[in-house]
Amino acid sequence: MTTSPAVRPTTSVLAGVDSPADLRALPRDRLASLAEEIRLFLVDRVSRAGGHLGPNLGVVELTIALHRVFDSPSDRIVFDTGHQAYVHKILTGRRAGFGRLRQGGGLSGYPSRSESDHDAVENSHASTALSYADGLARGFALRGQSHRRVVAVVGDGALTGGMGWEALNNLGTDDAAPVIVVLNDNGRSYAPTRGGLARHLAELRRAAGDRHSGPNLFQDLGLAYLGPVDGHDVDAVEAALRRAAALGCPVVVHCVTVKGQGYAPAETDEADRLHAVGVVDPRTGRPTSVSPRDWTSVFAERIVDIGRRRPEVVAITAAMLRPTGLLGFSREFPDRVFDVGIAEQHAVTSAAGLAMAGLHPVVAVYATFLNRAFDQVLMDVALHRLPVTFVLDRAGVTGPDGASHHGVWDLSLLAAVPGLRVAVPRDAARLATLLDAATATDTGPTALRFPKGAVGADIPAVAEVDGIDVLRTARDARVLLTGLGPLARVCLEAAELLARHDIGATVVDPLWAVPLNPCLPRMAAAHELTVTVEDNVETGGFGARLAHQAAASPRPGRVRTVSLPHAFLPHDSRDALLARAGLDARSIVRTVLTSLRPGTADLRGTAVQTHDRLHPLRSARRTARS
């Protein structure tokens, strides 16, 4: 039944549920009202703050049943992926925290061990829950705690990932621990799930009730199988879970759900069922404001243009066609786009095969997810010097999705790959030219990274020196500000502020972060101080590599690196996190002033504080000096 966010129950069941014990004490005839209230609560809170709406609307009854059957946190419930854990958070005493969902200091959008003992893992990268569960169950057995049950809730989309199959293979062994796999089958990840697994699950759904309908993949692997079960029927799910727990062996409980269940705007959205939303009108599910042009849309436009001019260009997505900007390309060139499911490793090595066949693959993924396929980038693509272009969306600080989604390691990782070039555009014009250059490269792999959010106005260069864009010059410039990609804009703002202190600054954009342009150490030697600015971790980053090369030059220049700390960053807005790490104009100015004239006045005439005191996140930062 579809509910309207405007209709609210006259009495509240949800107000009396602050723990799984409260839930188990509820009479069975109150559960339908509880489910309705949870949906109303989700629509209300998520529409205000943004977050994952569709996936959580689809698991309301399923999660109620889980917490009525199992005794969390003694029993461990692992969600894969963690974006479907909002209902779990509501039922484990965190309802009040939804007022600051995904905001600094507020509730995380994913399971968080620091929030609650009910969160077993901080699980927001897909296809990992079954492996966690296998280890937990084996560990409990070895420690004499076999009474503690382990449940993994995995979506059919997440089960397309390679780690899921590795775990299923191990769960099917004779000595496997009794893990209960709750398969939340809604036929989708972002979009409808594709491939052989999707076809097999569809056959199982069609054959419901027929015990002799044909082969069952899970049983063939050695697991017991129960289902399909209506995932929106609490009684049916409870009965299946109790039966599964009694079996004492690895078992799959196949629950069929509807993503966005009970909320008409999500149910009628065939694109992604309102998978993840910003601030929206709860009545319609539509954004309350017009979003400015963002980096992803610029890439989306440019890759279509490239596809028209270069028939050898093909694209690969890991179940994220729309989020990574490939939807338009797929519509114009449907035979040249390959959705491989949530399988980044396969995506990269499949791209290697496409390149070997004479094509130029573009692998579009979020920067954080490329981490999962580093070995494939290194050994399957780069070792063979293959022309594959990696387009890394959400690079750098992404904001409210938190530690696992910040794309802050890719520059350090990719810098270690021989022969791979990495471009970092500062604006839409540079994204277009650098993507053109990357996809025209046939001598080896390339990558292009850009952040989440608005792209901003183009920043023209005033000069070009050996492939480096000079954005600002000053007479008798003492400082060289090197801003990587979008942070070139911040460097220009800092240069304006430095001019008020009679400190001239040259601002440059290297365009290509890897390999390091040999002209940069020479530029550094010509200035009293060089400050590099990047939203990547400091370890192995652009600034660290420049400082190393500058120190080895005949006329070494002093280099300070302004980057992200060697730490996991929390969830907060992008601007707030950048400022805390010193990646805003005023902080860069303070870095320059404390380096050139320690103890002198700051912008307002008060004593300059040390960089570490201003930015606690950077307390462990090493300053690179010649």
CB 288 within 8 A of CB 280: yes
Cα atoms in the Cβ-side hemisphere of radius 13 Å centred on 28: 8
CB neighbour list of residue 140: distance below 8 Å, 6 or more residues apart: 146, 148, 150, 177
CATH 3.40.50.720 fits 468-618, yes or no: no
Strand stretches in 383-467, DSSP E: 389-393, 421-423, 446-449, 463-465
**137-141 contacts: CB < 8 A, separation 24 or more?**
137/177, 137/178, 137/179, 138/177, 140/177, 141/177
Domains in the chain: boundaries: 14-277, 295-449, 468-618
Active site residue 89: no
CB neighbour list of residue 207: distance below 8 Å, 6 or more residues apart: 213, 214
Q: Which of 151, 171, 137, 159 is nearest to 88 (CA)?
A: 151
The CA–CA distances, whole Å, from 72 to 56, 77, 119, 150, 183 equal: 19, 7, 9, 10, 19
Phi, psi angle pair for 169, to nearest 5°: -60, -40
Peptide bond into 515 cis (omega under 30): yes
Active site residue 312: no
Phi, psi angle pair for 406, to nearest 5°: -65, 130
Q: Which of 51, 31, 33 is nearest to 42 (CA)?
A: 51
From 344, 430, 538, 558, the catalytic residue: 344
For domain 14-277, give the fold.
Answer: Rossmann fold (3.40.50)
**Residue count of the chain:** 626
The SS3 assignment for 311 reads coil
Q: Which of 469, 541, 534, 538 is nearest to 506 (CA)?
A: 469
Does 157 show up as a binding residue in the annotation?
A: yes
Active site residue 372: yes
**What pLDDT, in 10s, does the model give residues 181-199?**
999 999 887 778 888 999 9
Does 186 show up as a binding residue in the annotation?
A: yes
The rounded distance, in Å, linking the Cα atoms of 410 and 450 is 11
What pLDDT sits at residue 610? 28
What pLDDT sits at residue 482? 98
The CA–CA distances, whole Å, from 100 to 49, 285, 407 equal: 7, 20, 23
Does 125 show up as a binding residue in the annotation?
A: yes
The CA–CA distances, whole Å, from 366 to 104, 141, 369 equal: 22, 38, 5
The rounded distance, in Å, linking the Cα atoms of 233 and 57 is 14
From 188, 259, 421, 430, the catalytic residue: 259
The SS3 assignment for 129 reads helix
What pLDDT sits at residue 474? 93
The rounded distance, in Å, linking the Cα atoms of 524 and 559 is 8
CB 384 within 8 A of CB 87: no
The rounded distance, in Å, linking the Cα atoms of 161 and 547 is 39
Does 126 show up as a binding residue in the annotation?
A: yes
**What pLDDT, in 10s, does the model give residues 202-232?**
999 988 766 556 679 999 999 999 999 999 9
Cα atoms in the Cβ-side hemisphere of radius 13 Å centred on 244: 32
User: 22 burial class (0-12, 13-18, 19+ CB within 10 angstroms)?
Assistant: middle
What pLDDT sits at residue 209? 62
What pLDDT sits at residue 471? 98
Does 416 show up as a binding residue in the annotation?
A: no
CB 446 within 8 A of CB 423: yes
What pLDDT sits at residue 621? 30
Q: Kindly give the parts of the chain with pLDDT less than 50.
A: 1, 3-7, 600-626
From 102, 372, 421, 574, the catalytic residue: 372
The rounded distance, in Å, linking the Cα atoms of 505 and 530 is 9
Please give the model's pTM, rounded to 2 decimal places. Answer: 0.90
Does 156 show up as a binding residue in the annotation?
A: yes
CB neighbour list of residue 165: distance below 8 Å, 6 or more residues apart: 159
Check the CA dihedral 207-203-161-450 and report its sign: negative
- Judge whether 14-277 and 468-618 match in fold: yes
For domain 295-449, give the fold.
Answer: Rossmann fold (3.40.50)
Structure-token pair, residue 599: 């103890």
What pLDDT sits at residue 467? 96
The mean pLDDT of the chain is 91
What pLDDT sits at residue 597? 78
